[in-house]
Amino acid sequence: MPPPLDGTLATLAAVDAASDRTVRAGLLLPWANVAVETELARLGLRHTVFHHARLVPASRTTAIDASFWHGLREASAQALDSLSHIPLDAVMLACTSAGFTGGPPLPGGVRTAFDALVQALAATGTSRVVLVTPYRPTLLR
């Protein structure tokens, strides 16, 4: 049985349930991340299909630093190309850190969690944000 949903996940489930067609979403994932596929499958969405492509940085490391995050962004064009045969409705970078740390530009049309957050804050007229993070202060500079 899927876990109870709240907030964004409840919204996603409601949109999925109301859909009259299959929505295809491309997910660009860090090469060592196995959580995303597992967690999305548990949502039990019936009209949303996630197509995954791995982001393999040239360094082939998983260090949590700017070099790794920038390497993921550099790998995004090749990962996106591997999904080019699928008619996607949306493409998302499934790595929050690589999404907001800057670095090489992402291919056109690739959205990040940070893009969605900025859009939602602008739509609600939010003028002040408090951010809490599990990352060490040295990683936040």
Please calculate the CA angle 79-81-84 and round it to the nearest 5 degrees: 125
Look at residue 107 in the predicted model and tell me its pLDDT. 92
Q: State the pTM of this model.
A: 0.76
Say if CB 60 and CB 30 are below 8 A apart: no
Closest CA to 111 of 27, 45, 50: 27
Lowest mean pLDDT among 2-6, 20-24, 26-30, 129-133: 2-6
Which DSSP letter does residue 49 get?
A: E
- Cα first-last separation, the chain: 41
110-111, strands of its sheet edge to edge: 48-55, 23-30, 90-93, 110-111
Q: Summarize pLDDT for 42-90 with one digit per residue, the tens.
A: 888 999 999 999 999 888 888 777 788 888 889 999 999 999 999 999 9
Q: Which CATH number fits domain 7-139: 1.10.10, 3.40.50, 3.30.200, 2.30.30?
A: 3.40.50
Sequence ranges of the domains in the chain: 7-139
Q: What is the mean pLDDT of residues 14-43?
A: 88
Measured CA to CA, the distance from residue 98 to residue 71 in angstroms comes to: 9
